[in-house]
Amino acid sequence: MKVLCIGDVIGRPGRDALRSFVGRLRAELGVGFVIANGENSSGGVGITVQSAEDMFGSGVDVITLGNHTWKHDKEIAPYLEKCGRLVRPLNFAPGTPGRGVCVVEVPGGGGVRVAVMNLIGRVFMEACASPFDAADAALAELLRTAPGVPVVVDMHAEASSEKRAMGHHLDGRVAAVFGTHTHVPTADEEVLPGGTGYLGDVGMTGPYDSVIGMVKEKIVHKFRSGRPMPYVVARGNVQLRGVVFEIDGRGKCVAVERVRRDVTGPVVSEDA
């Protein structure tokens, strides 16, 4: 089975890229299951019901989130409770709406299932519980409730060292660990010694003629002036960035391949 993991989807340009390429990548690469990080899918910061439904409608099977989960809190919290294919970081505070792990059947996979776990880092991030302890507890529960189901982990974190440490911590116990959040793709894909696929950061799916997805002039002015500036999603050089993990029948990763596709058509809207 091949699992495609797509990096932070930025606003409408990122959602348009999903619509353009997810179906084609399924056919071209033989992808059976698609995971995408959607915490920036609405206006570049946060997720709404509409942006989530857009992503699911484009062929995404599971959406993961991150530190911008609660930008549209009143709208997304009830949706998190009822949508079994939308997960938020597992190590958020106890009692937080939603779930940090889901187990989903592969479409057309004859009952084959994939478990998706979402974690958030603590280095240079807001305070939260240990992602390492949370992952251990969740894996113990999955061994009880879904034995033999391969687990794919989105580690949403700032520090490359923390992501790398998580990869080694989970090596041999999960099928793959991929990093999100920095919007900058890394070139460190590999299969770790225990059989876990790893990529430090997938990068973003959105406009690369920007500063991590936002209109570059506004962000440059913010850094130069020290004054706050509104985030506005950029438009140019839209790309889909992802990684494909090939997972065998034992739940081990046997190959990792980074994916890039460029959107050549016009972007209709910049910030919806």
**Contact call for residues 84 and 95 (beta carbons, < 8 A):** no
Residue 151's CB: how many other CB atoms inside 10 A?
A: 25
**pLDDT tens figures, 224-257:** 999 998 989 999 999 999 999 999 999 999 999 9
Two tokens, residue 173:
């116990």
**Which pLDDT score is estimated for 116?**
98
For residue 265, pLDDT over 90 is answered with no
Q: How much is the pTM?
A: 0.96
Give per-residue pLDDT as tens, 88-100. Answer: 999 999 999 999 9
Q: Is 156 a catalytic residue?
A: no
What are the structure tokens assigned to 253, written together?
A: 């990763």
Q: Decide if pLDDT at 271 tops 90.
A: no
Cα 249 to the chain's mean position, in Å? 24
Mean pLDDT, residues 262-268: 73
- The separation between CA 95 and the C-alpha centre of its own chain, rounded to angstroms, equals 23
Retrieve residue 161's tokens: 């060292």
Burial category of 241 from C-beta neighbours within 10 Å (exposed 0-12, middle 13-18, buried 19 and up): buried
- CA proximity to 106, closest of 4, 205, 199: 4
Handedness of CA 25, 29, 30, 34 (dihedral sign): negative
Considering 68, 72, 156, 181, which one is annotated as catalytic?
A: 68
Q: Which pLDDT tens digit goes with each residue over 100-110?
A: 999 999 999 99
Determine the pLDDT at residue 264. Answer: 85
Domains and CATH numbers, the chain: 2-207+237-262 (3.60.21.10)
162: closest CA among 125, 203, 214? 125
Across the range 138-154, mean pLDDT stands at: 98
